Amino acid sequence: MNFDETDKKLLLLLQEDCKQTTKELSYKLNLSVTAVYERIKKLENLGVILKYVALLDRHKVNRDFIVLCHVKLTQHKKEFVLQFEREVMNLQEVTECFHVSGDYDYILKIGVKDMEDYRNFMLSKLTTLQHIASTHSSFMISEVKNTTAIVL
Domains defined for the chain, CATH in brackets: 5-46 (1.10.10), 65-139 (3.30.70.920)
CA 53/CA 30 separation, integer angstroms: 26
Query: Residues 97, 102, 103, CA angle at the centre, nearest 5°?
Result: 95
pLDDT on residue 110:
98
CA 125/CA 88 separation, integer angstroms: 9
Contact 139, 126 (CB under 8 A): no
For CA atoms 22, 27, 32, 38, the dihedral sign is negative
pLDDT on residue 24:
98
Task: Return the percent helix, strand and coil in the chain, to nearest 5.
Answer: 40, 20, 45
Going residue by residue through the chain, which has 152 residues, state the pLDDT in tens, using 9 for 90 and above.
899 999 999 999 999 999 999 999 999 999 999 999 999 999 999 999 999 999 999 999 999 999 999 999 999 999 999 999 999 999 999 999 999 999 999 999 999 999 999 999 999 999 999 999 999 999 999 999 999 999 99
